[in-house]
Every structure is written in C-alpha cells, then in structure tokens.
Structure 1
Amino acid sequence: PLRGRVSRIYRDARRLHGRGPFKDHLWISVEAPAESVWTVQPCFWFELGPDEWSYGLGYYAASPSTMMKLRARMERDPKPMETLTRRLNRQQEFSLEGEEYKRPKEGAPSELLAPWYLKKSFSMGHRDKLNESLFTRELVDRLKTGYEFLLPYYDYFVTLESDPDPREPG
C-alpha cells in the first residue's frame, strides 16, 4: 500500500495586504507508509510551480543515517547500484540532484558511484518550463514511462531503513 500527500497553496485572504500566496508550488507525492517521518522516506513526486513543473523520485530530506546506510550498502555490494547508475547515465529524462557535503565523503567503491557519495540527500528528477504539453495526454504517458523507469531505484532505496546501522559493530 502507498500513501499520497498533496500540498496546498494558501494564505489567509484577510491578511494578504497585497502579498501573494504563502506557497507558490503545488505538489503531490506517493510513498510507502512508515513509522518514521515522511520526509526521510523515498517518494515519487509531481510538482507545479509558477514557471516550471517537475517530477521524479527521491528524498525530501534523507537522514544522515539513511545516507550512511546507502554508502555502506554500496561498499558491501557495489554491483546493483553500479547497474542502476549506468542505467541512469544512459538516459536523458532524469538527472541526479541534491545538496552536496561541503567536505566530500571518501571511500566510493568505484568512480561510477562517487557522485552518490557527495550527496547529503538526493533525488532523480526532471524539470521543464511550463508550456502547452502540460495539458496534453502525452504528459500522462511521459509520467507513466518515467515512473516505470524509476521503480527499480525506489525498490533499492525503500529497503535502506532495514539495513543495519553502519555505526554499530555487527
């Protein structure tokens, strides 16, 4: 089962005084129900802003523990993530995004996995300017194809929380 979330653009009209809305982006996200805070779970999203739209998969704010688990998993068994990374690098729709550490993390098992080691949190997203294509059937097909492409990444990331904590002796 998955859970959906929808943002709202709101501002109390009695207190506008010439200012615009409190939030200027609408988004929906879909993620697995979890006991932890939703912002630290991988989720699929679609977002509309005043000038652009985007969609993809990632974390709103991955916890440091989640990123440690990701690095530890890549060190233990780099092949699955290398396969996913090569697949991501061969296509044009999605790119790896996210804030990077000021001091880069060392120890990536391969050059291919090094970009993942630099991220504090990450997403694989596509951004585009608002245009007529947003209101066509082709957008639905594009999103379906895109989310199907991202599904193996979701399957990989959603299980990170069950990995052992790399800080604890095992």
Structure 2
Amino acid sequence: MADDGFRDRVSKQGEEALGKLATDLLENPLINSAITRAFSAREKAVQAQEAAMGALNLPSAADIDRLTRRLRTVSTRLEGIEESLDRLQDGVDRLTEKLGANEALAERLAALEGQLSKVSRDVSHVSDAIDAVPPPVPREQERLAVDAPSPKPARKRAAAKKNS
C-alpha cells in the first residue's frame, strides 16, 4: 500500500512538471513562433505535394477519401435500386400470372365464339328454309284442287264420231 501512495505522488509530480514545462514552452515566444512556422511549412509541403501529384495526374489522399465516400454513396443507392427492381419484378410476375389466366379465358372465349358463329349460321339456314317463299305456281295449276281427286280424262270426240 505504501508503494501505491509513493507511486501516485511521483506520478502526480511528473504530470505537474510536464504540464509546467509545456505551459512554459507555449508561453515562450521563440518556441511559439517556431511551432507556427513548422505548421505553416507542413501546410505548404502538403500543398506542394498535392500540386505535384496533380501535375502527375495522381490522386491525393483527400481525392481517394472523397472517391471512397462517393463510391459508398453510389453503392447504397444501387442497393436501393436493386431492391426496387426486385419489387417491380415481383409485380410483373404477378401480372404475368394473371395475364396467363386471362389468355386461357380468351382462348376459351374464342372457341365459344366460333361455336356460336356456327350455330348462328345453322339457325340462319334453317330460318331461310322456313321463311322461303315457295316458287310461284304456274297459271295452269292455280285452279287445281290439290286434295280433290283428279277428273277422269274425257275420251276423244273425234274417235266417237268415226264409230257412228
């Protein structure tokens, strides 16, 4: 336990000393200007590197990061489009099944229409036969009674006169 207390004290003193040193360094104008110049030089080096890579037509790390983000966005949108296409395909499949049933009904209807047309022609022929006006009767037959017995033919008169 005594070791833990000693270790904590040494640790605190070390942290305080480092904190004081950092504060003193940051407050020192010479160190502060050196840090500012170093960051400025770093920024200029990054810009020069980007310009050189641009001149060589090579992408920078920032370009690759932007491209990666864009690719992820496009990938997400593509997945959404694929899901929409799957739903659309399911709808088309359902409609195709319904149309298949309708096509079978259409074929049956066409067969029934053909049969109905044939029956209609047959009825028309029978109707025409029933409603047909009989051909006109020749004048010689107009006064004949159809149901009456036919008269016996008269003998020829010329033959009777010869016999007398």
TM-score (norm 2): 0.18
Q: Which has the higher helix share?
A: 2
Q: Which has the higher strand share?
A: 1
Whichever of the two has the greater Rg, that structure is 2
TM-score (norm 1): 0.17
Report 1 or 2 for greater relative contact order, CA contacts < 8 Å, sequence distance ≥ 6: 1
